[in-house]
Chain A
C-alpha cells in the first residue's frame, strides 16, 4: 500500500511539474499536489476507494492534477472562511454578553472579496484551458477505431483493418442474482475487449445505434457521449500496457449498468500478433469466398441452440426471458405477428435491424445462430409457427436470395465466425414488392424504401418492362372510403416512383379484384407492386 502511494505521489509531482514552467510555480503546485495526493490516497484499499483512478494517459494525468489542485484550493478557502464563521459564533454570542455592532456596509471590503475570488479563478482557468485544448486536439491520430453504442453492448470497428466485433458483459447472470460469489471484476468484464497498442495516438469515432450512451474509461481520461446519427471524436494515448475498465456513463435504459468497457493495451509486438489473428479470423484480405453451412439440422437442435443465442446475443435484454418485451417500449415476441408471420420478414429483420428503433442488425452472428434463434422464438412460449429456417436460408438471404458463385460449402462453421468481411448489401427482394401502410393513412410508410428499390431495380434490369400498382385496405370502415383510401395509397406509391425518376408510362394503376384481404389487417393495408 505504502509503495503504491509513494509511486502515485511521485508520479503526480512529475506530471504537475511538466505542466508549469517557473520554479516558483513548480514548488507551489508540487506542494499542493503532494498535500492533495496524501489526503486523497490514504485509504486506497479495496472497497474504500476515494480518489480518481490512477491515470494512464497524459490527458488523464492533467485531469488528475487539476482535480487535486482545485480541491486543495477549495479546501483551504473553506477552512479559512468557516474558521472566521466559527470564531464569530464563539466570540460574538449573546450568551457571552456580546453586544451587536450596527455596521452594515463597507465598500472596500466588498470590493476586496469580489476581486480576490476573481483572481483565484483566473489562476485556475489557465491550466484548465491548456488541458481542454490538449484534450480536444484529436489531430494526427496513428489509428482510428469506430465505437458504436448499442442497447446494451459496444461495437468496435477497426475501420482501416476491415474488421469489427461486439463487446458485451461477461459477468454471469448468476453473480448478478447473488447466486454465485461475485468475481473481482464483477460488472467490469467483457467477452471481447477493445485492443490497442501502447503509446499510439488512438482516435475514436464514437456514435450510437439507438439511444445515447457514453464511452468512459477513467484511466485513459476519455468520456464521450455516443449520439445516434452523429459522430463525435475523442482520443487517447495509453502510457502503459494493461487492462483498463470503465462503464457506459449515460443512462441508456434498463441495462445501462451492464455495459462495461474494457480496453486492453498491448505492446506493439503483441498487438501486431493479435491484429494478424483477428484478420485471419474475420477473413480480411482473403480472396476466398465465405464458407457456407449447408447442413440440414433437426429443428429441435436448432431451437435448443437458439435459446442459448437468445440469452447471450442480447435478445433477452429487451424481449425478456418470457418473450413478453416491455409494454410500450420493446415489443413482445410471444404471440407477435412478426414471429408468427412470414419467416422471410423475420430473417430480414434480424439481418438488417429496424432503423430508428432499438432493434439492431444481428448480421454479425453466424448463419446457424440466426437460424437457431429464429427457430427458438417460433417454437417457444405460445408461438407455434409451422415455418422454420436452416442456416443455408440465412446465407441465401444475406446474399440477396441466392448464394454467390463459388461459395465454399462446408458441413458446419464455428459459432461466431460469420463471414462479416464480405458482407453483402442489404437484400432487396424481387417483385412482387409490398408496402404496408399505417391504419387509415395514405402516407408512405417509413420502411417503404426497400420495396421501392426492388421496383426500381426491376425496372432498371428490364428496359421495357412496366409495373402495376394495386392498393388495398383492411376490413374496417366504410367501403367507399376504403376504395378511396386504397386508390390514394396506390397513388402515393406512384408519386414516389415518379419522384425516383420512373417515367409515367412505365407505371400502371391496377384496381384490386377485392379491396381487402390478406392474412391479417396489417397485411391487408398494403400496396403491391407487380410486374405488369
Chain B
C-alpha cells in the first residue's frame, strides 16, 4: 500500500537511479518493497471479494426461507469465502508484511531470492483467476466446503478441478515464499544480530515458514489424491475400493491445523512488535515468547483429529486428541500473559495500531476460550459443525489475523508511504470494526448452542432473531472496510499533512526505524552492524 517512493536519499554511486520507477516495473521487479506492496494490494482485493461472498451468505441468512441465493450457490459462496479469505486474503497479507519488513528489520538489502520472490507473488493471480473463474463454469464453483471433503468433492463438477489446481499453485507459491523467508532470516541478518536478538516478527515468521514447508506439500498430496479419485479411477477415499473418506480428513487436517497457526503466528509477531512500542517498555519474556511460539508450532502437528471427533474415532483417540488440544492452551496463555506484563507499568498511549492490538488481545482470547470449550470432546460433539464453531474460528481468524493486519498497516504504513495516517479516522475504523465484528459473530455462539448447523441456507424460526442481528452486523463490518480503504488512500496521498519521521513512534525499536520514511527503494546495501 505504499506509494512509489521517489525520495532517493541514499547516496548511490551506481546506475539504478536510471531505472524508471514506472508501474510496469511491478511485472519484473526483484525489489522486496515492490513485491510486498503487490502482495498487500492483492490481499486487499481478495479480502473484498471474499467479503462480498460473506455478505451474500449473510443476506440469505437474514431471514428464514430462501430469498437471495439458491442452495447450490449458497454452498459455493461458503466454500469460496473460506478458501479466498484464508489463501487469498490473510496469508498474502502477512507475506506482504514479511516482504516489506523482514529485510528492513534484519538489515538485509532484499530477500535472499529476489527473483523467485516475484514468482511467489505472480503465482497468486493465476490462482485467483481459477478460483473466481470457477463460479462461471458449468456446475459452478466448488461447493463442498473449504475443507473439500470427499465423497462430496468427488461428486462435484469442474469447478472442483479448478479449485484443486488453484490450491496446487497457491501451495507452490507458499513453499517458495517460505523457503525465501527462512533463508533470508537464517542467512541475511546484519552482522551482530544473533538469533535471540531477532525481532519477534522475524521469529514468528521463521516458525510459520517452517510450518508452511512442512504442511503445504501434504495438502498438495491430499488434493492430488482427490484429483485422481475424480478422474483416474483411484479409490483413496472410496470404501468400494478399500479406501476411506475419513483418510482425506486425516491428511487434510494434518495440514489444516498447523494452517491455523500459520495464520495466527505472524499476527502474534505483529502484536509483539506493537505492544512494546506503545507501552514504551521492552517485550516481557522475549525468550519465553520464542519458546511458546515454537511449542505451539510443534503441538499443532499432533492435534489434527480434534476437527474430527464426530467421525467416530475410538475412545482412546478422542481422549488423546482432547488432552493434546487442551495442552495448547498453556503456551497460548503464556503469550497473552507476556503481552499483559509488557503493558504493566508501562507508559501507554492508545494510537490506532495499539487499539487494534488490544482489540486483537480481547477477541483472540475470547476465540481461545471457545477453543478450549471445543477441545472437550463431549462438548464438541454437540457443537461440531454448528454456528458455535463458525463464531469460534472467526474470533480467532478475524480478530487474530485481520485485526493485527490492520494494526500492522497503521504501524508500518508511515514507513511505507512517508505520511502519517489520520489518527481520528483510524480510531473510528477501529471502534466501528470492533463493534460490528461483535454484533456479527457473538450471536453466532448462541445460534450454535441452540442447535443451528453451519453451511445451511435456511433454518427454523427459533434461530431467526440472532441471524438477523448477525446479518446486520456483517454489513456494518463490510462498510467499515470500505472506510479503511479510504483511510489508506488518504494516507498515501498525504491528506493528514504530517510527514512521517524516520521513527514516527517514540517507543519503537529496531533497524526498520533507522532508514528514512518512506523507505528508499534500496536499503541496507551495506549491512548495518548490530551491537
Which residues in A have some Cβ–Cβ distance to B below 8 Å? 40, 46-53, 59-60, 62-63, 66-67, 70-71, 74-75, 77-78, 81-82, 84-85, 88-89, 92-95, 98-106, 109-110, 113-114, 117-118, 121, 124-125, 128-129, 131-133, 135-137, 175-178, 182, 184-188, 206, 210-212, 214, 216, 218, 221-225, 227-230, 232-234, 246-258, 326-329, 355-358
* Residue contacts A-B, CB under 8 angstroms, 11 given: A85-B343, A88-B346, A110-B288, A113-B337, A132-B315, A175-B65, A178-B67, A184-B461, A227-B246, A247-B451, A252-B152
B217 in the interface (beta carbon within 8 A):
no
CB pair B139 A328 closer than 8 Å: yes
Given A67-B379, A128-B376, A247-B453, are A177 and B460 also a contact pair (CB < 8 Å)?
no
Closest CB of chain B to A303's CB: distance in Å?
A: 28
Top 4 nearest A-B pairs (CB, nearest first) are: A229-B239, A328-B157, A257-B456, A328-B139
Q: How far is the CB of B272 from chain A (nearest CB, A)?
A: 12
Q: Contact: A251 with B312, CB < 8 Å? A: no
Cβ of B9 to closest chain A Cβ, rounded Å: 31
Q: How far is the CA of A368 from the CA of B143 in the complex (A)?
A: 36
- B336 close to chain A: CB less than 8 A: yes
Interface assignment of B450: CB less than 8 Å from any CB of chain A: yes
Cα-based distance from A492 to B338 in the complex (angstroms)? 70
Per the bound structure, the CA–CA distance linking A49 and B464 in Å amounts to: 9
- Are B460 and A188 in contact, CB atoms less than 8 angstroms apart? yes
**Which of B31-39, B207-215, B357-365, B403-411 is found at the contact surface with chain A?**
B357-365
Which of chain B's residues have a CB closer than 8 A to the CB of A81?
A: 336-337, 340, 365
8 Å CB contact of A216 from B138, B327, B373, B453: B453
The 0/1 profile, CB within 8 Å of A marked 1, for residues 330-372 of chain B is: 1101101110111111111110000000100110011001101
Query: Least Cβ distance of B431 to chain A in Å?
Result: 15
Bound-complex Cα distance A328 to B311 (A): 28
For A357, what are the chain B residues with a Cβ–Cβ distance below 8 Å? 155
Residue numbers in A under 8 Å from B97 (CB-CB): none
Known A-B contacts A233-B312, A251-B455; A257 and B318 likewise in contact (beta carbons under 8 Å): no
- How many chain B residues touch A (CB < 8 A): the figure is 103
Q: In this complex, which of B155, B239, B283, B464 has the most chain A Cβ atoms within 10 angstroms of its Cβ?
A: B155
Residues of B at the A interface (CB closer than 8 Å) are 64-67, 71-72, 75, 138-139, 143-145, 149-152, 155-159, 238-240, 244-246, 279-288, 310-312, 314-315, 318-319, 322-323, 326-327, 329-331, 333-334, 336-338, 340-350, 358, 361-362, 365-366, 369-370, 372-373, 376-379, 381-382, 384-386, 445-446, 449-451, 453, 455-466
A249:B239 contact, CB within 8 angstroms: no
Nearest CB on A from B459, distance (A): 7
A115 to chain B, nearest CB (A): 9
User: Is there contact, CB below 8 Å, between B310 and A223?
Assistant: yes
Give the residues in chain B near A225, CB-CB below 8 Å.
246, 310-312
Find out whether the CB atom of A232 lies under 8 angstroms from the CB atom of B330: no
B344 touches A124 (CB 8 A): no
A103 CA to B139 CA, complexed, in Å:
61
Are A210 and B75 in contact, CB atoms less than 8 angstroms apart?
A: no
From B331, B336, B385, B461, contact of A249 by CB (8 A): B385
Is the beta-carbon distance between A88 and B64 smaller than 8 angstroms?
A: no
With A and B bound together, what is the CA distance between A82 and B361 in angstroms?
A: 9
**Could you say which residues of chain A place their CB within 8 Å of the CB of B346?**
88, 92, 98, 100-101
Apart from A212-B245, A227-B239, what 16 extra A-B contacts exist at CB < 8 Å? A59-B378, A63-B381, A92-B344, A104-B283, A105-B284, A105-B285, A105-B287, A131-B376, A132-B318, A133-B315, A135-B381, A176-B66, A182-B64, A221-B378, A251-B385, A329-B156
Residues of chain A within 8 A of B344, CB atoms compared: 84, 88, 92
Inter-subunit contact A229/B333 (CB<8 Å): no
Which of A104, A109, A125, A355 has the most B CB atoms < 10 Å from its CB?
Answer: A104
Across the interface, which residues of A come within 8 angstroms of B331, CB to CB?
114
| Of A60, A93, A100, A327, most B-chain CB atoms within 10 Å | A100
Most-contacted residue by chain A among B343, B362, B385 (CB, 10 A): B385
Given the contacts A66-B376, A132-B319, A212 and B152 also touching, CB distance less than 8 Å: yes
> With A and B bound together, what is the CA distance between A512 and B129 in angstroms?
50
Assess the B345–A46 pair: CB atoms within 8 A: no
Scoring B71, B386, B460 by chain A CB atoms within 10 A of each residue's CB, the highest score goes to: B460
Known: A185-B460, A256-B455. A211 touches B151 (CB 8 A): yes
Which residues on the B side are within 8 Å of A59 (C-beta)?
378
On chain B, the residues within 8 Å of A230 by CB distance are: 239, 244-246
Give the one of B71, B158, B445 with max A CB within 10 A.
B71
Smallest CB-CB separation from B279: which chain A residue? A100
Alpha-carbon separation in the docked complex, A94 to B277 (Å): 12
CB contact between A62 and one of B378, B385, B386, B446 (< 8 Å): that residue: B378
A104 to B339, CA, bound (A): 11
Bound form: Cα–Cα A52–B449 in Å: 5
Minimum Cβ distance to chain A for residue B341 (Å) = 7
Other-chain residue from B240, B345, B358 in contact with A101 (beta carbon distance below 8 A): B345
Alpha-carbon distance between A214 and B466 when the two chains are bound, in angstroms: 24
Q: Kindly provide the distance from the CB of B292 to the nearest chain A CB, expressed in whole angstroms.
A: 9
Contact between A117 and B330 (Cβ–Cβ < 8 Å)? yes
Q: How far is the CA of A47 from the CA of B71 in the complex (A)?
A: 23
A251 touches B145 (CB 8 A): yes
A249 to B453, Cβ gap below 8 A?
A: yes
In contact, B378 and A128 (Cβ under 8 angstroms) = yes
A133, A177, A247: the one contacting B66 at CB < 8 Å is A177
Query: What's the nearest-Cβ distance from chain A to residue B367, in Å?
Result: 11
By a CB distance below 8 angstroms, the chain B residues around A254 are: 71-72, 75, 143
Q: How far is the CA of A113 from the CA of B159 in the complex (A)?
A: 49
Contact partners of A60 in chain B: CB under 8 A: 382
Say which residue of A52, A70, A136 sits within 8 Å of B376 (CB atoms).
A70
Minimum CB–CB distance from A253 to chain B (whole Å) comes to: 6
Knowing A85-B361, A132-B315, the reply to whether A100 touches B322 (Cβ < 8 A) is: no
| B449 CB contact (under 8 Å) in A50, A121, A132, A182 | A50
Q: How far is the CA of A94 from the CA of B453 in the complex (A)?
A: 47
Q: State the CA gap A230–B246 with chains docked (Å).
A: 10
Candidates A84, A187, A221; contact of B382 at CB < 8 Å: A221
Instruction: Flag if A249 contacts B386 (CB, 8 Å).
Output: yes
Q: How far is the CB of A389 from chain B (nearest CB, A)?
A: 29
Q: Which residues of A contact B159 (CB under 8 A)?
A: 328
Do the beta carbons of A88 and B348 come within 8 Å of each other? yes
A278–B157 Cα distance when bound, in Å, is 41
Q: Give the distance to chain B from A358, nearest Cβ to Cβ, in Å.
A: 6
B460 touches A251 (CB 8 A): no
A246 to B464, CA, bound (A): 17
Other-chain contact of A224, B245, B312, B378 (Cβ < 8 Å): B312
Say which residue of B65, B139, B156, B446 sits within 8 Å of A178 (CB atoms). Answer: B65
Decide yes or no: A67 and B373 within 8 Å by CB, A81-B340, A210-B151, A212-B152 being known contacts: yes
- Which residue of the partner chain B has the closest CB to A187? B460
Among A92, A100, A114, A227, contact of B245 (Cβ-Cβ < 8 Å): A227
**Residues of B contacting A121 with CB < 8 Å?**
326-327, 329-330
In the complex, residue of chain B having the shortest beta-carbon distance to the beta carbon of A327: B138
Most chain-A CB neighbours within 10 Å: which of B238, B340, B349? Answer: B340
Q: Is B347 a contact of A104 with CB atoms below 8 Å?
A: no
A287 to B310, CA, bound (A): 42
Cβ of B326 and Cβ of A125 under 8 Å apart?
Answer: yes
Question: A328: nearest residue on chain B (CB-CB)?
Answer: B157
| B382 close to A223 (CB less than 8 A) | yes
Scoring A102, A110, A355 by chain B CB atoms within 10 A of each residue's CB, the highest score goes to A110
A101 close to B459 (CB less than 8 A): no
Count chain B CB atoms within 10 A of each CB in A46, A59, A81 and give the residue with the most: A81
Query: Which of B138, B281, B358, B466 is close to A328, meaning CB atoms less than 8 Å apart?
Result: B138
- Among B152, B156, B245, B385, chain A packs the most CB atoms within 10 A around the CB of B152
Considering the chains assembled together, what is the distance between the CA atoms of A311 and B396 in angstroms?
43
